Structure 1
Amino acid sequence: MSNHNEVVPHEDYGFFGPDSVSWKVFSYPTALSVGFQRTVVTEMYEPYLLASVNDTGAVRKRPSLRYDRTLQYMATVTFGDSTSVLKASDILVKIHSKITGTEPISGLRYDANDPEAQLWIHLTAWHSVLYTYEKFGPGKLGPEEEQRYWAECALAAQFQTINIDDVPRSREQMRAYYERMRPILAATEATQEHVELLLNAADTLLPDSALLWPVAKLTQAVFRRATIATLPRWMRKMGGVRQSPVTDALITVTLRMFFRMIAHSVAAQRFVLRTASPLTVPVLDPILCAVPPNNPMVWTPEQARARHGMLTPAEQYARIRAADAQEPLPDHAAADGSRPLLAFG
Structure 2
Amino acid sequence: MTQDVARSPDLAGAAVHPAADYGFFGPDSVAWRVWRYPTSLLLGFMRAVVIEELDPYLVASVADSGQVRQRTPLRYDRTMQYFATVIFGDAESVLKSADVLMKIHARAVGPEPVTGNRFDANDPDSQLWIHLTAWHSILYVYEVFGPGRLSAADEARYWRECAVAAHFQTIDPTNVPTSREGVRAYFESYRPKLVGSEVAQDMMDYLLDLTREILPPAVPTIVRRVVNAIVRRGVIATMPRWMRRVGATPQSRAVDLICTPVIRLAMRSLAGRRATELTTLNALSPRTTPVLAPVLCDVPATNPVVYTPAEARVRFGMPVTPREQYARLVQQRAAGTGDRPYAHHHHDALLEFTESA
TM class, shorter-length: over 0.9
Please name the residue that 1:287 is paired with: 295
Name the SS for the 1:222 alignment partner. Answer: helix
Name the SS for the 1:110 alignment partner. Answer: strand
Contact kept? 1:56, 1:335, Cα under 8 Å: yes
Separation in structure 1 between the aligned mates of residue 139 and residue 346 of structure 2, nearest angstrom = 29
Task: Please show how residues 190-201 of structure 1 align to structure 2 within 5 Å.
Answer: 190-201=199-210
Separation in structure 2 between the aligned mates of residue 136 and residue 16 of structure 1, nearest angstrom = 24
Task: Please show how residues 233-272 of structure 1 align to structure 2 within 5 Å.
Answer: 233-272=241-280
Q: Figure out how many residues of one structure are paired with residues of the other and give that number.
A: 341
Name the SS for the 1:107 alignment partner. Answer: coil
Tell me the amino acid that sits aligned with residue 114 of structure 1.
D
Name the SS for the 2:299 alignment partner. Answer: coil
Please name the residue that 1:226 is paired with: 234
Q: CA offset at residue 213 of structure 1?
A: 2.1
Separation in structure 1 between the aligned mates of residue 133 and residue 62 of structure 2, nearest angstrom = 16
Q: Is 1:10 the counterpart of 2:27 in the alignment?
A: no
Please name the residue that 2:182 is paired with: 173
Q: Deviations over 1:271-308 (max 9, x none)?
A: 10011000100010000001111100101110110112
Separation in structure 2 between the aligned mates of residue 176 and residue 61 of structure 1, nearest angstrom = 36
Q: CA offset at residue 329 of structure 1?
A: 4.3
TM-score (normalised: structure 1):
0.95
Q: CA offset at residue 340 of structure 1?
A: 6.4
Separation in structure 2 between the aligned mates of residue 5 and residue 331 of structure 1, nearest angstrom = 43
Q: CA offset at residue 16 of structure 1?
A: 0.1
Tell me the amino acid that sits aligned with residue 288 of structure 2.
T
Contact kept? 1:72, 1:341, Cα under 8 Å: no
More displaced 10-residue stretch of structure 1: 64-73 or 324-333: 324-333
Please name the residue that 1:29 is paired with: 38
Q: CA offset at residue 315 of structure 1?
A: 1.2
Of 154, 160, 181, the residue aligned with 2:163 is 154
Q: CA offset at residue 48 of structure 1?
A: 0.6
Please name the residue that 1:68 is paired with: 77
Tell me the amino acid that sits aligned with residue 326 of structure 1.
G
Change (3 A) 1:6 1:294: same
Contact kept? 1:70, 1:341, Cα under 8 Å: no
Please name the residue that 2:48 is paired with: 39
Contact kept? 2:329, 2:338, Cα under 8 Å: no
Q: Deviations over 1:15-55 (max 9, x none)?
A: 00000000000010001210000010010000111111111
Q: CA offset at residue 207 of structure 1?
A: 1.8
Q: CA offset at residue 4 of structure 1?
A: 5.7
Q: Deviations over 1:224-263 (max 9, x none)?
A: 0011001111111111111110110111111111100000
Separation in structure 1 between the aligned mates of residue 342 and residue 189 of structure 2, nearest angstrom = 27
Identity fraction in percent = 50
Please name the residue that 1:94 is paired with: 103
Task: Please show how residues 137-152 of structure 1 align to structure 2 within 5 Å.
Answer: 137-152=146-161
Q: Deviations over 1:78-113 (max 9, x none)?
A: 000001100110001000001001111211111110
Point out where structure 1 has 5 or more consecutive residues left out of the alignment: none
Please name the residue that 2:4 is paired with: none
Q: Is 1:318 the counterpart of 2:305 in the alignment?
A: no
Point out where structure 2 has 5 or more consecutive residues left out of the alignment: 1-9
Change (3 A) 1:85 1:220: same
Tell me the amino acid that sits aligned with residue 336 of structure 2.
Q
Please name the residue that 2:350 is paired with: 338
Separation in structure 2 between the aligned mates of residue 222 and residue 340 of structure 1, nearest angstrom = 35
Name the SS for the 2:110 alignment partner. Answer: strand
Please name the residue that 1:302 is paired with: 310
Separation in structure 1 between the aligned mates of residue 73 and residue 14 of structure 2, nearest angstrom = 29
Q: CA offset at residue 331 of structure 1?
A: 3.9
Q: CA offset at residue 332 of structure 1?
A: 4.3
Q: Is 1:274 the counterpart of 2:282 in the alignment?
A: yes
Tell me the amino acid that sits aligned with residue 229 of structure 2.
A
Contact kept? 2:11, 2:278, Cα under 8 Å: no
Contact kept? 1:273, 1:281, Cα under 8 Å: yes
Q: CA offset at residue 341 of structure 1?
A: 5.7
Separation in structure 1 between the aligned mates of residue 13 and residue 102 of structure 2, nearest angstrom = 34
TM-score (normalised: structure 2):
0.92
Higher relative contact order (CA 8 A, sep 6+): 1
Tell me the amino acid that sits aligned with residue 245 of structure 1.
R
Of 108, 121, 126, the residue aligned with 2:135 is 126
Please name the residue that 1:78 is paired with: 87
Change (3 A) 1:18 1:340: farther
Of 48, 67, 72, the residue aligned with 2:57 is 48
Please name the residue that 1:327 is paired with: 337
Change (3 A) 1:341 1:260: farther
Separation in structure 2 between the aligned mates of residue 281 and residue 98 of structure 1, nearest angstrom = 29
More displaced 10-residue stretch of structure 1: 28-37 or 310-319: 310-319
Contact kept? 1:55, 1:332, Cα under 8 Å: no
